[in-house]
């Protein structure tokens, strides 16, 4: 895949999709910077990567905060003199309807899912331009093309904005040999889903996926691996749906309400 010796930075890499991406990139020879705020799972992911025979660095930072991102990259560049691959994976959601959503919640979702990708890209673009090489992957969602059934309007708006950002940045950076793409995960059995949805409910919801099963974090990681590999060197500005056919149909409003309520934080 041409990743030997490359340096990757994955945000939100302590668990779930981010962890699967970090591990798969490491399996193919890339050194990996693991960013997250989870102080237990983050270092555990670093240890798992190191066991694969490559270098790994734990980089705790709130990527929605510009100053923390600048500090993080300053530390990264002390260990590695460049970053070849940036995966903007970290994200948060809210189950609140618009009429119930405080502006602070809206801002937090937009800042983490959309603005953070802008901030991180700003830090890696100069070094990628200098090296005339780079791969940037933004983890969006099928919500960007339809709506989120448990992530709210803020989540949908942020993920849709991320696709627009992907297209435009791809155009700006293409002359430098830098590609920018997105993947749009469908329903994926992340730890968050497993914590909040019963096995019976998971089985019931399989009907949403024409392919007959939920996606796994590893499925999303494989899509990222392809897009950062030499095999995809001419692909840029694209959004790859990894959803088992989920976007081929959608749910009725009653089902939407049922799923949304599962993710409302219980007081």
Measured in degrees and rounded to the nearest 5, phi and psi for residue 127 equal -70, -35
Reply yes or no on whether 155 is catalytic: yes
Among 103, 133, 149, 155, which one carries the catalytic annotation? Answer: 155
The residues annotated with a catalytic role in the active site are 155
């Amino acid at each position: 895949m041409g990743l030997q010796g490359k340096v990757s930075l994955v945000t939100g890499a302590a668990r779930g999709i981010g962890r699967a991406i970090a591990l798969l990139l490491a399996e193919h020879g890339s050194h990996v910077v693991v960013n997250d705020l989870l102080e237990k799972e983050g270092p555990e992911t670093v240890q798992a990567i190191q066991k694969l025979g490559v270098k790994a660095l734990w980089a705790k930072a709130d990527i929605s905060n510009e100053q923390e991102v600048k500090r993080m990259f300053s530390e990264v560049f002390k260990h590695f003199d460049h970053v070849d691959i940036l995966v903007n994976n970290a994200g948060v959601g809210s189950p609140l309807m618009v009429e119930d959503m405080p502006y602070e919640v809206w801002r937090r979702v937009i800042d983490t899912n959309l603005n953070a990708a802008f901030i991180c890209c700003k830090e890696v673009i100069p070094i990628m331009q200098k090296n005339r090489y780079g791969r940037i992957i933004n983890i969006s969602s099928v919500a960007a093309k339809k709506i989120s059934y448990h992530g709210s309007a803020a989540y949908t708006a942020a993920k849709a904005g991320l696709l627009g950002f992907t297209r435009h940045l791809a155009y700006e950076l293409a002359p430098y040999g830098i590609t920018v793409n997105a993947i749009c995960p469908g329903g994926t059995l992340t730890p968050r889903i497993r914590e909040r949805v019963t096995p019976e409910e998971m089985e019931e919801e399989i009907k949403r996926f024409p392919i007959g099963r939920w996606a796994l974090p590893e499925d999303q990681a494989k899509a990222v691996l392809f897009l950062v590999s030499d095999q995809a060197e001419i692909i840029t500005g694209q959004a790859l749906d990894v959803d088992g056919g989920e976007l081929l149909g959608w749910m009725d409003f009653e089902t939407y309400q049922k799923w949304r309520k599962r993710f409302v934080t219980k007081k």
